[in-house]
Amino acid sequence: MRTSSYSFLFLTILHVLLPSLITNHHHSAAALPLSTDTRWIVNESGQRVKLSCVNWVTHLETMLAEGLSKQPVDVISKQIVSTGFNCVRLTWPLFLFTNDSLANLTVRKSFRSLGLLESVAGIQANNPKIIDLPLIDAYQAVVSNLDSNNVMIILDNHISKPGWCCSDFDGNGFFGDVYFKPEMWIKGLIKVATMFNSTKNVVGMSLRNELRGPRQNWNDWYRYVQQGAEAVHSANPNLLVIVSGLSYDRDLSSLLKKPLNLTFTGKVVFEAHWYSFSDGSAWIDGNPNQVCGRAVKYMMEKAGGFLLAQGYPLFVSEFGIDQRGTNDNDNRYFNCFLGWAAENDLDSALWTLGGSYYLREGVVGLEEFYGMYDWNWGKIRNPSFLQRIAALHRPHKIIYHPATGLCVLRKSLFEPLKLGPCSMSESWEYSARNVLTIKGTYFCLQADKLGKPATLSIFCNGENTKWEAVSDSKMHLASKLNNGSVVCLDVSSDNSVITSTCKCQGRDKNCDPGKQWFKIVNSTRDATATNSLLAIKEATNLLKEVMLTSF
Ligand SMILES: *[C@@H]1O[C@H](CO)[C@@H](O)[C@H](O)[C@H]1NC(C)=O
Ligand SMILES: *[C@@H]1O[C@H](CO)[C@@H](O)[C@H](O)[C@H]1NC(C)=O
Ligand SMILES: *[C@@H]1O[C@H](CO)[C@@H](O)[C@H](O)[C@H]1NC(C)=O
Ligand SMILES: *[C@@H]1O[C@H](CO)[C@@H](O)[C@H](O)[C@H]1NC(C)=O
Ligand SMILES: *[C@@H]1O[C@H](CO)[C@@H](O)[C@H](O)[C@H]1NC(C)=O
Ligand SMILES: *[C@@H]1O[C@H](CO)[C@@H](O)[C@H](O)[C@H]1NC(C)=O
Ligand SMILES: *[C@@H]1O[C@H](CO)[C@@H](O)[C@H](O)[C@H]1NC(C)=O
């Protein structure tokens, strides 16, 4: 009786404690300002802070953060937090901060002059405190609301002349273009950096989005980027200075040969963009394994992946897809993107928050299918999409399945391995011999039979317990059956983890291997995971004590 009642007590306490420990959310009470330590962004105490941002558009003709005609700003800020983001990349057009007559225009007048009367009524109803503010104060009001909700903010100079971005010939592309005079740009950077010098959660500024066009060249890039970086740093030394490359944030390759020459260290972060259309329609025109292999190589060798090894963080400040899920080019790209971003544990910003724009490219109320919200900013457009990117926000030591956003986990020793929420995932160890072991146990992942569940074994020396990343994409995890046949990790219809024949190993472009793509992802730098583990350890110790003293 005694033992059973104690084990009952133990189980009850465990039952009560564990869920709260596992869902232990990370707050962005990160002790700002931020700086860099090798490739990581860290807080005052040197602990890694992972930026999980979403882009919030404020650079179109209206010059007001989108969505304020649909929801109160505070509701949007709070939803940004509750959907798992800790940060916003808030865009701004240069002229808002360099042209007083634009800055002084009230929101109401700005919208009226564009004929957006319905939006005026919406803003009046949802954000009455903002409707009659000058545009520059409205920008500050949004920053201030994000700040009070403890959301970190990156102020991104997206364009000069307010409007949709970008094309080669829009006059906003490169230093010297008609709307892009370097002196005015520096003036604007200084103004913004100074304006927010006492806003705690403004953690960084992107100097300029997507440099591009016929004028782009590396000489001018070094010259002006260095000037801009120095200007921001002098005006506000707390900020991370975020630098983009040429060709729409797709090319930082000159840094392989020649670093930036700056007077300060520990503050520079580089940014890169990657969409499906960065590779045209390659994802549907080619074999996804080959395209993924090529595209990742490009990201590592040209778009800035190599900077991690040089000791700089790389911030993927734009990525995203049509969240209706109907674009196959997007869907194939996205599995590859998520695998790469998770594997490299990158800081990131989703494009985009809004489900519609007040006015974009001449269309009133244009719907944004890449947006987290639906058209009305009332509902999340696609909750399972958010689940898929959650692993980017809080990586664990996991075997991650980009196609579902789930991870390999065991319910119990006697049930097959399944896909389930990454927050519940086992911690795996991946040895030099390519054996995947559940940390703290003797159990390793084993390929058993073709089309049957992968199992856990304590005999971990055979070929059937070695798992290697194979195929052009390196997204397949392959092992060998006892008879020597190569099999790949796969998922059955009930989400069991099984081993099957490896798909799409040839050049077939109609073959989609997404279901067989897995990534083994690092979590060693993740403060939250460590904290939860520590908490679980503490709880276990506490329980031991309780039991001992009871005896
Ligand atoms: C630094 O960040 C970690 C994790 O986010 C947090 O636990 C810690 O308290 C922060 N440091 C300070 C000094 O607040
Ligand atoms: C400021 O903006 C207004 C309104 O768009 C424009 O008429 C004016 O020319 C601009 N001023 C400067 C100095 O660019
Ligand atoms: C804009 O407002 C500022 C501060 O209120 C003022 O100093 C400036 O003269 C105004 N500029 C214009 C063009 O109205
Ligand atoms: C912040 O900028 C203001 C000017 O806008 C200046 O008066 C103040 O001294 C600055 N504060 C710090 C801490 O640099
Ligand atoms: C870096 O800049 C400083 C001053 O701006 C200059 O004196 C120095 O020669 C530069 N170094 C290189 C390697 O270009
Ligand atoms: C993952 O962790 C291992 C060792 O813990 C390290 O060698 C490797 O560089 C890490 N990978 C990334 C992408 O950070
Ligand atoms: C190994 O066994 C599987 C079925 O379990 C079979 O499909 C495969 O052809 C066998 N391979 C060899 C090399 O015998």
pLDDT digits (tens, 9 = 90+) for 296-319: 999 999 999 999 999 999 999 999
Is the CB of residue 155 less than 8 Å from the CB of residue 196? Answer: yes
pLDDT above 70: percentage of residues in the chain: 88
pTM of the model: 0.78
Q: What confidence tens digit (pLDDT) does each residue in 216-264 have?
A: 999 999 999 999 999 999 999 999 999 999 999 999 999 999 999 999 9
398-401 and 406-409 strand pairing: antiparallel
Does pLDDT of 539 surpass 90? no
What confidence score (pLDDT) does residue 392 get?
A: 76
Tokens 């350890």 sit on residue = 537
Q: Is the CB of 345 under 6 A from ligand 6?
A: yes
**How far, in Å, CA of 543 to CA of 491, rounded?**
37
Would you give the distance in Å from CA 398 to the centre of its chain? Answer: 17
Listed in sequence order, the residues at least 6 apart from 380 whose beta carbon sits closer than 8 Å to its beta carbon are: 83, 372, 373, 374, 386
Q: Which of 9-13, 29-33, 51-55, 230-234 has the least mean pLDDT?
A: 9-13
Q: Is the CB of 135 under 6 A from ligand 3?
A: no
Listed in sequence order, the residues at least 6 apart from 418 whose beta carbon sits closer than 8 Å to its beta carbon are: 408, 409, 410, 411, 495, 496, 497
> Of ligand 3's atoms, which has the minimum distance to the CA of residue 103?
1
Amino acid at position 124, single letter = Q
**Distances 75 to 78, 145, 153, 393 between C-alpha atoms, Å:** 5, 10, 17, 21
Does pLDDT of 103 surpass 90? yes
**How far, in Å, CA of 469 to CA of 476, rounded?**
5
Q: Is the CB of 526 under 6 A from ligand 6?
A: no
Q: Is the CB of 24 under 6 A from ligand 2?
A: no
Mutate to test the pocket of ligand 7, among 483, 498, 502 (most ligand atoms within 8 A of CB): 483
Q: What confidence tens digit (pLDDT) does each residue in 367-387 have?
A: 999 999 999 999 999 999 998
- Name the DSSP class of 251: B
Q: What confidence tens digit (pLDDT) does each residue in 399-458 have?
A: 999 999 888 988 776 788 999 887 777 778 888 899 998 876 778 999 999 999 999 998
| pLDDT band of 547, cuts 50, 70, 90 | very low
Across all residues in the chain, what is the average pLDDT? Answer: 88
Does pLDDT of 12 surpass 50? no
Ligand closest to the CA atom of residue 113: 2
| pLDDT band of 46, cuts 50, 70, 90 | confident
Is the CB of residue 460 less than 8 Å from the CB of residue 495? Answer: no
Ligand closest to the CA atom of residue 260: 5
Q: Which residue has the higher pLDDT, 424 or 212?
A: 212
Question: Is the peptide bond prior to 502 cis by the omega test (within 30 degrees of 0)?
Answer: no
What confidence score (pLDDT) does residue 528 get?
A: 37
Q: Which H or E element spans position 497?
A: strand 497-500
What confidence score (pLDDT) does residue 416 get?
A: 87
Does pLDDT of 26 surpass 60? no
